[in-house]
Amino acid sequence: MHLPRASSCAIANRAWPQKHHPHRPGGEAVVRYAGVVVDTYRHFGRLGLGAVFGKKNLKALVISGTEHVDIPDIKRYKEVYNRLYKTAVQTDVMEKYHDIGTSVNINVLSWLRGLPTKNFLLSSFPEAEKISGEMFAEKHLIRRLSCAGCPIGCVHIAALKTAFSTHHEFEVRKVSYDYEPIYSLGSNLASARLRHTAAHRCLREAGAGCYVCRSGPLLGHRGPA
């Protein structure tokens, strides 16, 4: 499906035609680490798939299933499914990913001296607590989402306020967050400021669908925030 000059694109399912998939100029410019946007908060970030779409002038890929899959032993299937579902949802195996999300690893990796810091020159960040998943959950978390068919709900959405006048008027941004954007635009830039750790949304909106874990090291190479 070739359309006029492409963006880094979106992947949608025709079952939800009302979903908005914003254009991403990173793919149009064939930035090598441009990503593909899925359902607003999810991305195919690695390997520059957005650049491939942009190079081919491909704006979006719509996937719509038409076939039915027969399950030979439906009773056995339900038994296995229910066992896996209960293990994932009703035990503590995946609880930390639902509760805090992958950002729970910020404090842990800093303590273990495995947290990329200051353009990978250091392995722990003294201000890790200020950008930790626990801090986000306590002060900014407003919603959890799941990918289609997944019961975990590890997609965490924060509401961050930015004042734009002296009369207590604010812009509120809803930002998805996890370990990767927090470390790459936070500790890796030696910054504990939320406006930096949440900057991946700005990169997606203005600079455009570029994979944040590539953007962070590039910015880190230019020096601390």
**Diameter over CA atoms, the chain:** 66
| Fold for the domain defined by 100-221 | 1.10.569
Contact 145, 155 (CB under 8 A): yes
Taking the domains of the chain in order of start, what are their residue ranges?
A: 10-63, 100-221
- pLDDT of 107 > 70? The answer is yes
Q: Which of 93, 88, 201, 98 is nearest to 146 (CA)?
A: 98
Where residue 134 falls among pLDDT bands split at 50, 70, 90?
very high
CA dist 154 to 1, 35, 89, 131, 141, Å?
32, 20, 12, 18, 12
- Range 116-126 average pLDDT: 92
Residues facing residue 36 across a β-bridge: 44
Helix (H, G, I), strand (E, B) or coil at 38: strand
- Quick one: pLDDT at residue 124? 95
Tell me how far apart the alpha carbons of residues 52 and 9 are, in angstroms, rounded to a whole number: 10
Once rounded to an integer, what is the mean pLDDT over residues 199-211?
47
Mean pLDDT comparison of 56-65, 132-141, 168-177, highest-scoring range = 132-141
